[in-house]
Structure 1
Amino acid sequence: MTGHDHKPGHHPPGADDHPLDEAPAAMEPGLPIVPELPIVPELPIAPEPTTDSLAVRELLLALSVGFTLPGPLPDGVEGHDGLDQVIAAAKEAGLLHSDGSVVGTAQYALLQGTPTGRLRALQRELVDKVLADGRALGDLARDLAKSGLQDSRVAAELERSAEKAVDTDPQLAMDLFAEALLAGGQELTYAARRAQAAAATGDLDAAGRIVDRLLALPEPPDLRLGVDVAAAVWAQRGMLSRSADTYTWLGADRMAGSAPLAAVALIGSGNAAEAEQLLAGSRPAGSPTLLAVALSLTQEGLRRTLGPDPQLALPELIRASDMMNAAGGALPLAETPGALAALCALHSGEPAVAAHVLHAALTAGQGGDVAGPRLFLLQAWSLMQQDNADEARLAINEAVKANHWPLAPRDEFLLAALEVGLARRGSEVHQLVLAWERAREAMMHVSVDLYSLLPWGELMIAAARLRETRRVSHYVAGAWDLLAGLGNPPLWSVPLHWAAVQAALLSESPAELAPHAAALVRASGHSHLASVLAAGGKAWVSVLASRFEASDVEAAARGLAAVGMPWEGARLAGHAAAHAEERRDMVKLLACARDIHPQGSPPGGVPGRGDDGRGEARPQSLSDNAIAVTTAPTGLSAREREVGRLLLAGKTYREIGEAIYISPRTAEHHVARMRRRLGAESRSELMVRLRVALGEGYPPP
């Protein structure tokens, strides 16, 4: 550029600073007038604004609004005779990038300095041009909405995009719906879809508020979807009966494709008769899509769980889960087919099958983000049942971080029961007490339903062990009432009867045990699991009465392991070993316990006698020969080291004996020998020396 004398403080073109980086305090004569823009020394000097300089400004404003090069431009710009020269001048001035986009500072200045009415007129002309050209607005609609333009065409484009995204990306759908409202969209027209998107992200409060306003209208649009969302939100809040009430309010004549969803809610809340009436009175769902087939199989399989042949239910529910995985989407559901199939498998004594179904559902993203935590927690439950505590805790971690929203009350309750179950199986009384306190809080936020019987059974056992039965008695009574209303279906009731048997053993209450043991025997004709559990309960009673045959106990223990209860089987065998009169029976039962619980000894905790309410003893290794005596470098035998660990854990002689299958008197003799070996003059000194001898990590007495 020639013919310009650069004043001090101004950088020539090509210098490090961009020509728009700093505006002078006053406009120099001869430069084009562009409101809010800095000096552009590259344009020709003229005493007044020229036609070309105004054309540059109009071009830059159009491009700042959203027009593009190449492409349709506003009529006033597109019809300019020297458009190519105008574009070249804008680029030469450093205001236009080579790709046709306006320099950021110039764009900001133009948009801020142009009257709003002029901007809106240009934006509407832009919409006219794009639509006249047969193109969709696409992302341009989002930019226009964010800029404040209200135009029904922009709102409609955003609403259509949001509808497409609800099933695959609910968070994007929420954003698009919000932008559609900014663009002038009608709040209630897509309220049900907005609520669906909010619920699918896990934002239950937002979904609930939207659907509340919708269902309060005399003639709400998209009513059936709104009811589906409301029912799903109630279920996640742990109030499934409210989900059922919502469908009852909707009525069979307006149900159509939501009938299978209503059946899940009604059966789960104990009202199978109304579910049958509703299914009979509702219209067919329509074409047999993957989703429709998945929902149909779900309700059919669920109804089979209540009948005399519940073994036929699991394959149907697994197929329903498979179809839902294939269909994709984030339909609002009170319970996903994958979760129902897993629950059916767990209630049938098939935790490995449950884990497989859940893995497939999680891989496919069944139910969307909102369903992830529950699927992970049920996976953790199946792993806990299979005596795999470490993997169960990993699944719990996945559940907690699966969604950026806090866990729904229903899932929080399931998590609390899981923590109680893991602590009980780990035989850490302190951890059990802490987990129990958290569970007491969580249970106050939910009600009992058919799909929560497993956690209620676990809490029933823990309550008996901690002498807190009164805390759960009314919830458990509600569970029995619900099952009675459904005709006491064996598939759902058998695990709860088994939990009641274990609780009665812990409470030393034969009167409470008898009806549940009898129920297991009665159900044996329809349930293999019931026959195994009935044998297990009988074996426990015989062991506690010290009148048992080792072969019968071993058969019962191995039977429990075969139906996905290895921890319970090893516990039975271990306790029987401690009470065996013959050495060969003790060895045989210990070998059985090792076989079915290889990673550690069965918890020595004994339901009934000898358990003073503090619970089972800490598990010890069964890899050591239980009757061998070897000398450790500390001078203590392997048995003495076991006794020492239990002593440091605060166990009494009786608890030590029951933990490692010796008598309390023998435990006392071991402690006396340890005092002599370690040179301890008092019990407190023995504790100090034991902590040193056994290494770090043992609590003080």
Structure 2
Amino acid sequence: MRHQATPATESSLPANPQHTAAQLRGEDAVLRELLLALSVGFTLPGPLPGELSRRMADGEGESLNSLVARAESSGLLNPDGTVMGTVQHALLSSTPTPRVHALQRELVGCFAADGRPLGELARQLARTGLADPRVAADLEKAGDRALEHNPGLAAQLYDEALLAGADELATAARRAQAAFAIGDLDSASRIIDGLLMCPDPPDLRLGADVSAAVWAQRGMLARGADVYTWLGPERVGPSRPAAAVAMIGSGDREGAEAMFPKGSAPASPTSLAVAQAQMANGIMESLAGDPHQGLPILIHASDMLNASGAALPAPDTPGALAALVALHSGEPHLAETIVRAAAAAGQGGDAAKPRLFLLQAWSAMQQDNPDEARLAINEASKANHWPLVPRDEFLCAALEVGLARRSGEVHGLVLAWERAREAMLHTTLDLYSLLPWGELMITAARLRETRRVSHYFDEAWKLLRDLGEPPLWAVPFHWAAVQAALLNESPAALGPHAAALARAADHSHLASLLAAAGKAWVSVLAGKFQPADVEAAARGLNTVGMPWEGARLAGHAAARADERKDMLRLLSCARDLHPQSSSGGPKPSVQAEVHNVPDADQGNGTRPSDASVLSEREKEVARLVLEGKTYREIGEAIYISPRTAEHHIARMRRRLGAENRSDLLVRLRLALGPEEPPRE
């Protein structure tokens, strides 16, 4: 029966715990027993504790209905039959703990006898300190059900299972998986280390997956591959695809193919198993001489994992890998679409979110959208409650370097470089980090820091050789090396990379365009170029998602053009390639080559004040600057000190409104005009 009680009046409610305890001492023992049973978790109607039921059946005291009515009228029970909060607190705190736990165990027995799950009651019982294997088992099962789709809840349930007496070792791998999925890398690492130190650890394969994933997020993918090597093919089972991804990323192609032969079938027909197999197959296809099949396979894997909603420990997510392959293929817009979808679906759980947002930022930066890149970086920083893991911190630092380099702000670039220098000390190089390393290679050349970091680049070339120089992964890194060699003015260093791009051009559209762009850069620096060829190369860079690089090439060529019409044509090309902000003005990241330059249809395009603001000595210095002379060489040519030459150039830059050296070169050519060409 369900007792229908009348609400207690406000004046009858207990005022405070002391008054409540005194009031309860004045009640009879049977009523106190009833209130205690209800405080523990028994309900009306329903079975009551055996002793209480026996006493009431024997006719001791009032009937149940009478007791309930009296308790309600005294303000001890709520209308729904639950005990008032202050009454419950007073009863549980004044009753000996063994007595409370005995009643709780009896309550658990009632649920078990009826075949009912404990549900939320199990969590309440565990929090009160009840150690009972039935409660622990119920919480473990609930944690298992939540693990793949709600790892945060699973982590709480496993912790409560431990409070209820669960075997700490038996749940270790699953607890580590939950901790990893929510981004608590340190907790996951501690749990797994304890598990793997045991002679015969349970859930060993899952433990290996978590360990490898932790190593990958720490920026040490090769250590993760070592975990799978230690596990061995006979024990790796369904984790073979993850093992292959880790091994390929660390340069062990032979080990990956032994662990997961190309084209291997999934471990089961589930969407999750298929997604994992497709991820490994897509990465293996990306190593082929003609890697075009790798990207669609990885996109399929990402789509399937998005649909499954599962957060499993892995060295990387298919969404991130698909985005990397798209970026390496010259398709940053596609990469951005992939990671946006993966982040929206929660692919990989909270732990994977920062990396997905950072790859979105890289895609935006590649497309010369610095504002979008900044927004994505901010999203990455607040994606979960934990600091960026070393792998993501390195990627973020390289992004800051790339954005600073494109903005042309030297001070910001130096600061970003120092952050990146620190970040690289906490990670190791792998296949999936070549893009940021390529950006750092270019910046190191610009800042004359190559010697300090050259050993990292040596490791990158060795990794690519170990993998058979896969064009998809090698081509962008060769392009970075070409740009670094140009900045270092080192034709000898440029040659091998230009040749590598030319060799890959037969199978890679990106390589063919980059080879043409490299050739155009060399011709521009040599002062022997055809404007049409440079423009074609610049626009080619734009078609593979490199508008900033294309605008930069056209702008530098414009600064060195002999004919004014060629200079204006190339400047127009640079403006065409560089995106404009919604206000119509150039974005902050626009290089100086395309700032405040005349359009081709504006007559001769000169501003009368440009030449007039320069003194004769400054014009002399300007001609030498346009010849590419250094401060020392300018001083030697016109018998002034290098510091004086530097002062002249700084003053000219201020007068002409130039933002950096490249901008100054364009403005000086406009200021001197065709009647005052640079001296031969």
TM-score (norm 2): 0.86
Q: Indicate yes or no: 2:652 matched with 1:657.
A: no
Deviation string, structure 1 residues 120-155 (Cα, Å, up to 9, x no partner): 110011001112122100010011111011000000
- Report deviation, 1:468: 0.7
- Report deviation, 1:69: 2.0
Name the CA shift for 1:550/1:121 in 2 (closer, same or farther; >3 Å): same
- Report deviation, 1:528: 0.7
Question: Which amino acid is 1:194 matched to?
Answer: R
Task: Confirm or deny: 8 A CA contact 2:358 2:376 kept in the other structure.
Answer: yes
**Counterparts of 1:401 and 1:158 in 2: how far apart (Å)?**
31
**Counterparts of 1:208 and 1:649 in 2: how far apart (Å)?**
58
Name the CA shift for 1:253/1:298 in 2 (closer, same or farther; >3 Å): same
**Counterparts of 1:362 and 1:55 in 2: how far apart (Å)?**
59
**Counterparts of 1:193 and 1:220 in 2: how far apart (Å)?**
12
Q: Indicate yes or no: 2:187 matched with 1:206.
A: yes
**Counterparts of 1:661 and 1:552 in 2: how far apart (Å)?**
24
- Report deviation, 1:312: 1.4
- Report deviation, 1:15: 6.4
Q: How many aligned positions are there?
A: 619
**Counterparts of 1:619 and 1:100 in 2: how far apart (Å)?**
78
Name the CA shift for 1:67/1:564 in 2 (closer, same or farther; >3 Å): same
**Counterparts of 1:630 and 1:493 in 2: how far apart (Å)?**
46
Matches within 5 A, 1:632-671: 646-647=653-654, 656-660=663-667, 662=669
- Report deviation, 1:665: 5.4
Name the CA shift for 1:302/1:435 in 2 (closer, same or farther; >3 Å): same
Quote the residue 1:67 is aligned against.
42
**Counterparts of 1:289 and 1:297 in 2: how far apart (Å)?**
12
After superposing the two structures, state which structure 1 stretch, 417-426 or 311-320, moved more: 311-320
Deviation string, structure 1 residues 552-579 (Cα, Å, up to 9, x no partner): 0110000000000000000111111121
Quote the residue 1:57 is aligned against.
32
Q: Indicate yes or no: 2:20 matched with 1:39.
A: no
**Counterparts of 1:519 and 1:287 in 2: how far apart (Å)?**
41
- Report deviation, 1:657: 2.9
Quote the residue 1:126 is aligned against.
107
Name the CA shift for 1:22/1:185 in 2 (closer, same or farther; >3 Å): closer
- Report deviation, 1:334: 0.2
Quote the residue 2:16 is aligned against.
21
Q: Secondary structure at the match of 1:517?
A: helix
1:228 to 185, 205, 209: 209
Deviation string, structure 1 residues 30-80 (Cα, Å, up to 9, x no partner): xxxxxx71337xxxxxxx967xx2222111101111112222221233452
Q: Indicate yes or no: 2:377 matched with 1:396.
A: yes
Deviation string, structure 1 residues 171-223 (Cα, Å, up to 9, x no partner): 21111111111111000111110110011111111111111111111211111
**Counterparts of 2:263 and 2:506 in 1: how far apart (Å)?**
35
- Report deviation, 1:666: 6.8
Quote the residue 1:554 is aligned against.
535
- Report deviation, 1:518: 0.8
Task: Confirm or deny: 8 A CA contact 2:241 2:279 kept in the other structure.
Answer: yes
- Report deviation, 1:440: 0.5
Name the CA shift for 1:548/1:619 in 2 (closer, same or farther; >3 Å): closer
Deviation string, structure 1 residues 607-633 (Cα, Å, up to 9, x no partner): xxxxxxxxx75862458778646799x
**Counterparts of 2:211 and 2:656 in 1: how far apart (Å)?**
50
Name the CA shift for 1:101/1:652 in 2 (closer, same or farther; >3 Å): closer
After superposing the two structures, state which structure 1 stretch, 450-459 or 318-327, moved more: 318-327
Q: Secondary structure at the match of 1:288?
A: coil
Quote the residue 2:65 is aligned against.
84
Quote the residue 2:132 is aligned against.
151
**Counterparts of 2:242 and 2:166 in 1: how far apart (Å)?**
30
- Report deviation, 1:103: 1.2
RMSD of Structure 2 on Structure 1 (CA): 2.8
Q: More helix per residue: 1 or 2?
A: 2
Question: Which amino acid is 1:39 matched to?
Answer: Q
Q: Secondary structure at the match of 2:260?
A: helix
Task: Confirm or deny: 8 A CA contact 1:427 1:603 kept in the other structure.
Answer: no
**Counterparts of 1:246 and 1:176 in 2: how far apart (Å)?**
28
**Counterparts of 2:125 and 2:589 in 1: how far apart (Å)?**
70
Name the CA shift for 1:384/1:656 in 2 (closer, same or farther; >3 Å): closer
Matches within 5 A, 1:609-688: 620-621=595-596, 628=605, 646-647=653-654, 656-660=663-667, 662=669
Quote the residue 1:480 is aligned against.
461
**Counterparts of 1:209 and 1:280 in 2: how far apart (Å)?**
33
1:312 to 293, 303, 324: 293
Quote the residue 1:541 is aligned against.
522
Question: Which amino acid is 2:305 matched to?
Answer: M
Task: Confirm or deny: 8 A CA contact 1:571 1:603 kept in the other structure.
Answer: no
Name the CA shift for 1:420/1:49 in 2 (closer, same or farther; >3 Å): closer
Matches within 5 A, 1:296-695: 296-599=277-580, 620-621=595-596, 628=605, 646-647=653-654, 656-660=663-667, 662=669
**Counterparts of 1:281 and 1:395 in 2: how far apart (Å)?**
35
Task: Confirm or deny: 8 A CA contact 2:268 2:274 kept in the other structure.
Answer: no
2:251 to 256, 264, 270: 270
Quote the residue 2:622 is aligned against.
none
Name the CA shift for 1:73/1:540 in 2 (closer, same or farther; >3 Å): same
Task: Confirm or deny: 8 A CA contact 1:657 1:666 kept in the other structure.
Answer: no
**Counterparts of 1:275 and 1:346 in 2: how far apart (Å)?**
23
**Counterparts of 1:197 and 1:432 in 2: how far apart (Å)?**
39
2:220 to 205, 227, 239: 239
Name the CA shift for 1:73/1:465 in 2 (closer, same or farther; >3 Å): same
Question: Which amino acid is 1:19 matched to?
Answer: P
- Report deviation, 1:604: 11
TM-score (norm 1): 0.84
Deviation string, structure 1 residues 388-434 (Cα, Å, up to 9, x no partner): 00001000000000010111100000000000000000111111011
Name the CA shift for 1:265/1:603 in 2 (closer, same or farther; >3 Å): same
**Counterparts of 1:666 and 1:126 in 2: how far apart (Å)?**
95
1:136 to 112, 117, 131: 117
- Report deviation, 1:444: 0.2
- Report deviation, 1:659: 4.9
Question: Which amino acid is 1:20 matched to?
Answer: A
Name the CA shift for 1:61/1:358 in 2 (closer, same or farther; >3 Å): same
**Counterparts of 1:160 and 1:623 in 2: how far apart (Å)?**
71
Deviation string, structure 1 residues 367-408 (Cα, Å, up to 9, x no partner): 011000000000100000000000010000000000101111
**Counterparts of 2:512 and 2:263 in 1: how far apart (Å)?**
39
Question: Which amino acid is 1:364 matched to?
Answer: A
Quote the residue 2:88 is aligned against.
107
Name the CA shift for 1:149/1:603 in 2 (closer, same or farther; >3 Å): closer
- Report deviation, 1:283: 9.9
Name the CA shift for 1:283/1:356 in 2 (closer, same or farther; >3 Å): closer
Question: Which amino acid is 1:546 matched to?
Answer: G
Name the CA shift for 1:298/1:281 in 2 (closer, same or farther; >3 Å): closer
**Counterparts of 1:649 and 1:94 in 2: how far apart (Å)?**
86
What fraction of aligned residue pairs are identical, expressed as a percent? 61
Quote the residue 2:624 is aligned against.
none
- Report deviation, 1:603: 10
Q: Secondary structure at the match of 1:255?
A: helix
